[in-house]
Amino acid sequence: MLRFTAAPANDDVNPANFTTEIDNPFLPLQPGTTFIYKGLKEGSKLRDWFAVTDNTIVVDGVTCRVVHDRVFVKGVLQEDTFDYFAQDIDGNVWYFGEDTKELDILVRCRWTIRCHDLSLLDQDHRNRTRWIRVALFAEH
């Protein structure tokens, strides 16, 4: 069973409990792997390239794997992000935020809140940070 949960900002995140070796069977993020998702956005062809890099970044003490995520609509790059993931000692994959560039002014107006609501890299806004934990595991 796939389960997504959000952890409040005051959750005690212990960096020692995380790794960049993400081998969860529901979201294996091995460096060098690229996932390509295809679909439609408002009737136009969409393609999302989700490339797991060998790069890491430290977010609040946790070393995270960097995933380069690029969204193309009708073959034109619309969004270019670097997403940050780490796996805890229980095998849950956590999403620690993203650094994003949105390339279409209409998309920017529509999606700014969604893309920038974590403010993970802004030290002055840490109290508003909300971690999103993607708990991926099989039910027994």
pLDDT tens for the chain, 140 residues long, are 555 555 555 467 899 999 999 999 999 999 999 999 999 988 999 999 999 999 999 998 999 999 999 999 999 998 899 999 999 999 999 999 888 875 544 333 333 323 333 334 443 333 333 444 444 443 33
CA distance linking residue 39 with residue 126, whole number of Å = 35
Is residue 112 within a helix (H) or strand (E), and if so which, with residue range?
helix 105-116
CA distance linking residue 135 with residue 20, whole number of Å = 15
Residues 6+ apart with CB under 8 A from 21: 87
Looking up tokens 């409990």 gives 17
Q: By the 8 A CB rule, do 12 and 88 touch?
A: no
| Per-residue confidence (pLDDT) for residue 101, from 0 to 100 | 72
Task: Using alpha carbons, select from 29, 28, 9 the residue that is nearest to residue 96.
Answer: 9
| Per-residue confidence (pLDDT) for residue 51, from 0 to 100 | 97
Q: Which pLDDT tens digit goes with each residue over 70-101?
A: 999 999 998 899 999 999 999 999 999 888 87
Model pTM above 0.85: no
CA distance linking residue 89 with residue 73, whole number of Å = 37
| Per-residue confidence (pLDDT) for residue 100, from 0 to 100 | 83
Looking up tokens 């969204």 gives 71
CA distance linking residue 92 with residue 104, whole number of Å = 34
